[in-house]
Amino acid sequence: MGNVLSRNGSLGSVLGKRAADHDDRDNVKRMKSEPTETDAGITAFVNPNLPGFHGIIKYRLVLAKKMHEVDLDNHVVRLSSLDARAIEQKEEKIKAAIPTMTASEFDDHIAQLFGEDLSKQLRTLLNSPNDTETTLTFEFSKEQRFAFYDAFDQLKLEKKPHMSSKDGVLTVKWPKDEADKGRDPAPNFEALGGEYLQFHVYKSGVENTKAVSWVAQFAGVKESKIGFAGTKDARAVTVQAMTIHKARVKNLLQARQELNERKIYIGDFNYVPNGLTLGDLKGNRFSIVLRDVSGISEQEIVRSVESLKENGFINYFGMQRFGTSAIMTHEVGYQILKKDFKEACELILKPRPGDRADFENARIQWQETRNPEQAAKMFPRAATSENAVLRSYTRFPNNHKKAILSLPRRMLSMYLHAYQSYVWNHVVSERIKRFGCDKPLVGDIVLEDAVNTTKNKTSTRGRGRGRGGSAGRRFPTMRKQPKVLTEDDLTLYSIEDVVYPIPGHRTVYPKNEVGDIYRDLLEKDQIVFDKSEQYMKDLAGDYRPMLAKADDLEWSLIRYDDPCAPLCYTDLDRIVNKDEPTNIPDGKHLALRIEFTLGTSQYATMALREILRYDTSSKAQARHVHTE
């Protein structure tokens, strides 16, 4: 891959030794060092004069990070209640508002709907609750069905028969036992607020996909009916909203014990008119504890945090985007985009330092035997990419492109997007190296509202997970368009308005030296975004602000003695009336508690990096040792 150097430098290989010909000799050299921020193009800072300090983001299994979703109305999603009292109270008000119908009025109403004979048969059935053998069936229209259920609601019987409808036939009978009762009639969704049951999900150390799967399993709903706005960090305590189309509260309540055992808690139930789809959020609010702070005075901490609050940080794609392996995700993506599918498969399967023993043994098996069936038997189920490639090789030997295209869509997208992110990081780092990050340049790009045309009528509703009657909360909006700045524009925009492109087949590049960096890098890497290739069709490109702000930033210092002392206070702690962590004035250790809100696709680790000044890769963080 191409590299960006200084103004007077030339473009070489971005990976340097890491992008050699990948023969065995070069691979030994290549994998001696683990991935660092520099390998991902992360090198610059907004304020280069901050001193940096030691602080541990993650220490053993002690909670250090909370993440709360921020919805489209800019409300922070929190877990405040575990019961369904609000809905129960609303249901009681709805029932109380329903007019009462006497038995004779009910009979007359049924006679008008279905005729005198059926009315008499139904009355006989209702007067015989012990008769579990008689079943009354009759055909109906949609309007008749609604009117029939409304009449039963107004009759207000203490004990109701079981009623069900299917294929235009309504069945009424007294159940023999609990199992024979069948499903309760659907609630009045419109009166309750909408067809979607929304609830808040608190999870600790659980992947998003696993949480959704468990909610579906224990609540007895289809996983595809569960909607959510975004995925959350599995290594943190997270709170987010989810929705299920036409769900019953009691099903969720019955699932609570199983979910609680898996560190998932649900509550704040409410019916809403629109379900959630991916992207229906403003961002996330982070609460992070940096333990064992040292190497800096408290005055310098104040200066560093205030600088972050005032000036923001470089909006890099964080190290999570590039994986934790010695072979980084963007390296695989690079080979795929270059259409060197054989090398991409090699990178996925080859041995690397730091692997778990089962992965290592399976990789060695593949390297030594080139037998996909034998290697596949040794890889664990968690090896999603490896197993997909090997299964494809078993059926289609040496068809490397087919093997890559057999990857699960999310994995293939991860590799491709990682390369795009890598290019963005490198270009922005070089831009700051050459021109700083305090003002826009002629030829830079900002985004402005598109011209209103009849062509732009696409709605985001009904797309993605949780679709139903009205899934999605983002109203149809016109996509913003890139504008290239002229000399006259410079006084109208600030550096916070400047965006740089994520490369793709529809990307508009800056009309200045930064644009040259993009073109030279992609040309050196031999990358052309070819939308005739099915797997590249979605790589249209996008635009990302160069700088980001940590909004609503709050912080405090707390002293403590026990390195494992709980210093985070969660929503669940508040619900169960757990005591908040308290400051020990003469405590041996100092911690910085910091909270801020970021937009979507912005990384909290990149905000912290601005003040810490050390590598935020997971392996680099793991080397930090808490003082005794």
Which tokens is 32 given? 């001696």
Q: How far are the Cα atoms of 187, 313, 424, 517 from residue 4, in angstroms, in the given order?
A: 61, 21, 11, 7
Q: How far apart are CA 160 and CA 181, in angstroms?
A: 10
Residue 260 near residue 453 (C-beta atoms within 8 A): no
Amino acid at 499: V
Residues ≥6 apart with Cβ < 8 Å to 49: none
Label residues 366-389 b or e (16+ Cβ within 10 Å = b). Answer: beeeeebeebbebbeeebebbbbb
The catalytic site residues sit at 233
Tell me the C-alpha distance between 591 and 64, whole Å: 11
Q: Which residues pair with 559 in a beta bridge?
A: 590
CA angle 470-476-481, nearest 5°? 150
Strands (E) in 367-466, as ranges, are 445-448
Q: Tally Cβ neighbours within 10 Å of residue 163.
A: 18
Q: Are 338 and 445 in contact (CB under 8 A)?
A: no
Phi then psi dihedrals of residue 573, to 5 deg: -55, -40
Count the Cβ atoms, other than its own, within 10 Å of residue 428.
Answer: 27
Give SS3 for 317: coil
Type of residue at 384: T
Distances (CA, A) of 578 to 262, 569, 573: 20, 9, 5
CA distances from 94 to 48, 148, 191, 193, 230 (A): 61, 18, 7, 11, 33
CA-to-CA distance for 184 and 393, rounded, in angstroms? 51
Pairing of strands 169-173, 135-139: antiparallel
Reported residue count of the chain is 628
Six token digits for residue 554: 């709050």
Q: In sequence order, what are the beta bridge partners of 287?
A: 66, 595
- Per-residue burial over 591-619, b = 16 or more CB atoms within 10 Å of its CB, e = otherwise: bbbbbbbbeeebbbbbbbbbbbbbbbbbe
Q: CA–CA separation, 554 vs 556, rounded Å?
A: 7
What 8-state DSSP symbol labels residue 187? P
